[in-house]
Structure 1
Amino acid sequence: MQVLPNQPNNADSFSEEEKGNQLFPVFVKLNKLRTLLIGAGNIGLEKLTAIVNNSHSATITIVAEIVSPEIYTLIANYPLIKVKQKSFDVDDLNDIDIVFAATNNNILNEEIRKVTHEHGLLINVADKPELCDFYLGSIVQKGDLKIAISTNGKSPTIAKRLKQILNEGLPAELDETLQNMSALRQTLNGDFSAKVKKLNKVTQSLINPKKSFAERNIKWLIWVASVLLIGAIGFSLWNTEPEFQAFLINIDPLFYWFLGAGFLFALIDGAIGMSYGVTTASFSLAMGLPPASASMAIHISEVMSNGIAGWMHYRMGNVNWKLFKILILPAIIGAVLGAYILSSLEHYSAYVKPIVAVYTLFLGGIILMKAFNVKRKKADQKIKKIGLLGFVGGFIDAAFGGGWGSIVLSSLIAGGRHPLFSLGTVKISRFFIATLSSLTFFTMLGGKHWEAVLGLIIGSAIASPIAAKVSNKISAKTIMVAVGIIVMIVSLRSVIMFILKLI
């Protein structure tokens, strides 16, 4: 078996945070390979013990000038292990598939590694992770079940501790379960796919034990109970407090329109993961809100949702902090500048509105492209000017009511950035952008159109718990097509109305 270790690959295109643990877990049939172990002292004994404990029938050649008595005692029970009591030379690599260097001579170990690679073989060098092509993980075994644990060479102690925990936690009867599952599998007919479906059906009750109605729907029950409680209080106040009734009657109908819109657009955003900004912006313009007030309402209503999303990505380790540091300051400057300029042009909203409408028309087209999986060609190199990208994305997002994700996230991914880390970084950045742009808008505009802002906040908050349910009931493509078409129609209407006024 010949391999070419340490070959260059495209891993250098990712940052250290994005690389993470690059080890590829493989279970090797060592009994099918010819193994060379160099060194027969305490280190060699440890390696040999690990090998034979996991592969009793391994063919092993031990080369060492001095062989410890413990080695001879161990190999007495393994006829396929032979010892050559001599110093290592290159000829020992002939007819060998895999190598373990376990001497206490670092210079010799490095020389062994060099000639091993020249022969195209993989090698494990004891206590030298940087010289290893592969590691020996801590092993947890329960009969035919075998679990390997690796810390990427960082802490063997942690790996051993995890091994102890799993050994204690996994019952010995687990192997019996495996044997029963294997026997069950042999009784099934059909191709692999059919067998998997039957096994899933048989084991469904094991992995999903039947729960009570309350257990299955606890989140829904809490949500419904909360809504009913608020409704009951509101109904009671309506019938007993004339002042409360008068207050609700005198609320601008705009609040109710935006309450429903916030609910609907948050459902859509939760179902397909995008379009809240563009749908809300299009709706706001159609309802007669000036662009600055519309953008303020959108960003204020997004602060909490983006904060929660950013926090979750942070907890899951999906944030590239190096990218975040480069991105965030220019993005905030761009967002604040965009909010300031748009607010300053509030008196010229009649002329700004068609510009924003053209932008949302463009985003509607992007949504349709995503729905039909029309992808841009991936760039050969990463985007270098991250700061400029952040500034432009932040400015456009604030000035036009949305687009941070469409511009920045899509550009990072198209430029070769890791999608998961890009998403986490963009989400947590969005929280700060929404917060700072909201403060800028509020400082410039005050409480204008508070009905729209409050309606969006309440509507989107009510929709959040049920958005995931909607995504399971309706095709994401169907939603995206509908949203794209509606956004384009509404935006086109605003543009046409502006042109007709000029005529």
Structure 2
Amino acid sequence: MKENQDGNQLFPVFLKLNQLHTVVVGAGIVGLEKLTALLNNSQQARVTVVAESILPEVYEFTATYPQVTVLQKSFEASDLDEADLVVAATANNVLNEVIRKAAHERKLLINVADKPALCDFYLGSIVKKGDLKIAISTNGKSPTVAKRIKEVLNENLPNELDTTLQQIAALRNTLRGDFASKVIALNKATASLVEPKPVRKKNFKWLIWGTIIFSLAIALTALWYNEPGFRNYAGNISPVFYYFLAAGFVFAMIDGAIGMSYGVTSTAFSLSMGISPASASMAVHLSEIMSNGIAGWMHYRMGNINWKLFKLLIIPGILGALAGAYLVSSLEHYSHYTKPLVSVYTLILGSVILSKAFKTGKKKSADKIKRISLLGLGGGFIDAVGGGGWGSIVLSSLIAGGRHPRFSLGTVKLTRFFIAMVGSLTFLIMLDKAPWSAIAGLIIGSALAAPIAARISNRISVKVIMVAVGIIVILVSLKSIYGFISNIL
């Protein structure tokens, strides 16, 4: 069977350099760097340095290491006769090849500085906290990236980890019984290292938010009963605003958590309130600019964006939304004919997703990369025509094709921001009037729900997301199909 050569094929080990003899050839800047890395990690390492030219800093550094020998001479193959490991740190490529050949003739492993293809092993970046060491490898691709990761870990891993390590080691020496019982005891002792943060901090955060909301409620109540001007202003706000405020919050919570249904549910609600299809679609798209902008930013901060997928979706999606918004603004009745077709399509996709959620076998990777741009074009067009469908069509298709639900969700939410913006601008240009009370309610309600929903989505398991997506798509699709059939009969 052909071996899989993809990914990092290195096998990490920790060598006892104090029991080995390492030969470093070269004593320039690179040689000093390699020597420093070796001795900083193993102060008792036995090292021989061979070089024609030696930096004064090498002598200064090795002065406190009596087991280190520095030889100012030309390299000879015999210098490796007593070696266990070899590091070639010269700037001479020809000499490096000679050193490598001599090392391999003696069955020795060699590291050639800045030549990953010639290396048998790499000297990775090391994070050290007392007896705890973490080695970082980029498979020779970028030592700079490894260095930056080292800096992040050094800064964020507490120095007290070594104290914990010593205490666990002492506990281990006191344990009696067989191996299994010792493992159980040590697992119990170290469980606190991976437990979630104390709930008190979360409760404190919610206490702050609760206090803010309670304070606003008191202020608004005081204004209502003591300021006639404020009471008159609030009394003149159309009840439609409050209806859409509540609806926008609920629909955005659902949409933010599973990535779909906001457009469909908001449009259906708008139509039931007597708003025309084109105006309903405009209201939905205007409200989605802010809510999806917030949700997209939250998903970006949580690392839920697949940028390759984003690039494939964004331009076709915008073009589709532009064409769909223009068409529905010109022919408002057009959405009546497209909705049943979309509903049949999403019904099938919902069934596929729901069935996949309960399959335990290994998922196949998506291989429909060439069709994603076409998916974005169709999704943007139908979304603008029917007032919703970007999530139902695009997210459902991505998940059904085997893509990870969470990354698909984050990417769909971010692209939705740009598509909603283009669709809204087109509607504003094409339509003469708009239901501003409904639009304001949807905007504020969905914006309030967006950051909450984005965080909820990151805490829901993949299976739960897929089940929820499948059920909602099926129910919404069946309702739309039933409504269309009822109108015909």
TM-score between both structures, scaled by the size of structure 2: 0.71
Instruction: Return the alpha-carbon distance in structure 1 between the equivalents of residues 460 and 403 of structure 2.
Output: 30
Larger mean CA deviation between 371-380 and 483-492 belongs to 371-380
C-alpha RMSD of matched pairs (Å): 5.4
Q: Quick one: which of 431, 445, 448 aligns to 1:459? A: 445
Q: How many residues align?
A: 476
Q: Quick one: which of 251, 276, 280 aligns to 2:239? A: 251
Offset, 1:405: 4.5
Map 1:98-113 to 2 at 5 A. 99-110=86-97, 112=99
The reply to whether residue 398 of structure 1 matches residue 384 of structure 2 is: yes
Alignment check: 8 A CA contact 1:330 1:391 kept: yes
**TM-superposition CA deviations, 1:104-150 (whole Å, max 9, x none):** 42222245457878999864323556755654355554431335578
Offset, 1:440: 1.5
Alignment partner of 1:384: what SS? helix
Q: List gaps (5 residues or longer) in structure 1.
A: 1-6, 12-21
1:260 alignment counterpart: 246
Alignment check: 8 A CA contact 2:291 2:443 kept: no
Q: Quick one: which of 145, 167, 171 aligns to 2:132? A: 145
In 2 relative to 1, CA 36–370 (structure 1 residues): closer, same or farther, beyond 3 Å?
Answer: same
Larger mean CA deviation between 492-501 and 463-472 belongs to 463-472
In 2 relative to 1, CA 76–115 (structure 1 residues): closer, same or farther, beyond 3 Å?
Answer: closer
The reply to whether residue 436 of structure 1 matches residue 436 of structure 2 is: no
For 2:449, the aligned partner's letter is: A
Alignment check: 8 A CA contact 1:269 1:275 kept: yes
2:67 alignment counterpart: 77
**TM-superposition CA deviations, 1:210-231 (whole Å, max 9, x none):** 6696556223333443455446
In 2 relative to 1, CA 238–74 (structure 1 residues): closer, same or farther, beyond 3 Å?
Answer: same
**TM-superposition CA deviations, 1:453-474 (whole Å, max 9, x none):** 3332232233346547877999
For 1:196, the aligned partner's letter is: N
The reply to whether residue 196 of structure 1 matches residue 192 of structure 2 is: no
Offset, 1:483: 6.9
2:295 alignment counterpart: 309
Map 1:95-494 to 2 at 5 A. 99-110=86-97, 112=99, 123-128=110-115, 135-137=122-124, 139=126, 141-146=128-133, 153=142, 155=144, 162=151, 175-184=162-171, 190=181, 192=183, 195-201=186-192, 208=198, 214=204, 217-227=207-217, 229-230=219-220, 233=223, 241=231, 244-245=234-235, 247-248=236-237, 251-252=239-240, 255-281=241-267, 283-284=269-270, 290-312=276-298, 324=310, 327-348=313-334, 350-358=336-344, 361-362=347-348, 364-365=350-351, 368-369=354-355, 372=358, 378-379=364-365, 381=367, 383-384=369-370, 387-405=373-391, 407-408=393-394, 426-464=412-450, 466-467=452-453, 484-485=470-471, 488-494=474-480
Alignment check: 8 A CA contact 2:319 2:380 kept: yes
Alignment partner of 1:28: what SS? coil
Alignment check: 8 A CA contact 1:52 1:58 kept: yes
In 2 relative to 1, CA 396–203 (structure 1 residues): closer, same or farther, beyond 3 Å?
Answer: closer
In 2 relative to 1, CA 465–411 (structure 1 residues): closer, same or farther, beyond 3 Å?
Answer: closer
Offset, 1:335: 1.0
Larger mean CA deviation between 301-310 and 130-139 belongs to 130-139
Alignment check: 8 A CA contact 2:339 2:386 kept: no
Offset, 1:102: 1.9
**TM-superposition CA deviations, 1:141-167 (whole Å, max 9, x none):** 443133557896465997699599859
Alignment partner of 1:39: what SS? strand
Q: Quick one: which of 30, 38, 54 aligns to 1:51? A: 38
In 2 relative to 1, CA 470–221 (structure 1 residues): closer, same or farther, beyond 3 Å?
Answer: farther
In 2 relative to 1, CA 331–208 (structure 1 residues): closer, same or farther, beyond 3 Å?
Answer: same
Alignment check: 8 A CA contact 1:149 1:159 kept: no
1:15 alignment counterpart: none
Alignment check: 8 A CA contact 1:144 1:175 kept: yes
Instruction: Return the alpha-carbon distance in structure 2 between the equivalents of residues 170 and 475 of structure 1.
Output: 30
Alignment partner of 2:369: what SS? coil
Identical positions, percent = 52
